[in-house]
Amino acid sequence: QQQVKQSPQSLIVQKGGIPIINCAYENTAFDYFPWYQQFPGKGPALLIAIRPDVSEKKEGRFTISFNKSAKQFSLHIMDSQPGDSATYFCAASMTSGTYKYIFGTGTRLKVLA
């Protein structure tokens, strides 16, 4: 029940395409869902995050869609660029406690020039 399932494991898109990465969770106590971007040899960096009281959030070219009833959320990257090539992790936590995150297994995205 503590798992966050992430798919696909890897993704290749052409420049300008819209990669979509999906995550699903079981624990309804989760109330904070961030997405992290990680480049090789670097630490994860927060991209965008959402709480269950909204169904969509946009920041620049990144959009999170959230479906509370299905317990699913997804990341969309608009007009993707080669510089977006990285590994993306979704995560979940219960902020009534701490920011202890349960991470998904990651999606390795490659954007072709």
Of 92, 106, 109, 111, which one interacts with other proteins (CB under 8 A)?
106
Of 11, 74, 89, 92, which one interacts with other proteins (CB under 8 A)?
89
> CB-based contacts of 111: which residues, under 8 Å, 6+ apart?
12, 13, 14, 15, 17, 19, 80, 81, 82, 83, 84, 85
* Least distance in angstroms from the C-beta of 92 to other proteins: 11
Per the structure block, which two tokens stand in for 82?
């080669």
Pairing type for strands 62-67 and 72-77 reads antiparallel
**3-state SS assignment for residue 83:** helix
Per CB under 8 A, which region of 11-19, 36-44, 61-69, 78-86 contacts other proteins?
36-44
* Least distance in angstroms from the C-beta of 49 to other proteins: 8
Residue ranges of alpha helices (H) inside 4-109 are: none
User: Interaction with other proteins in 7-26: which residues (CB under 8 A)?
Assistant: none
Of 43, 69, 83, 113, which one interacts with other proteins (CB under 8 A)?
43
Q: Which residues would be at the binding site for other proteins (CB under 8 A)?
A: 6, 36, 41-46, 49, 89, 95-96, 98-106
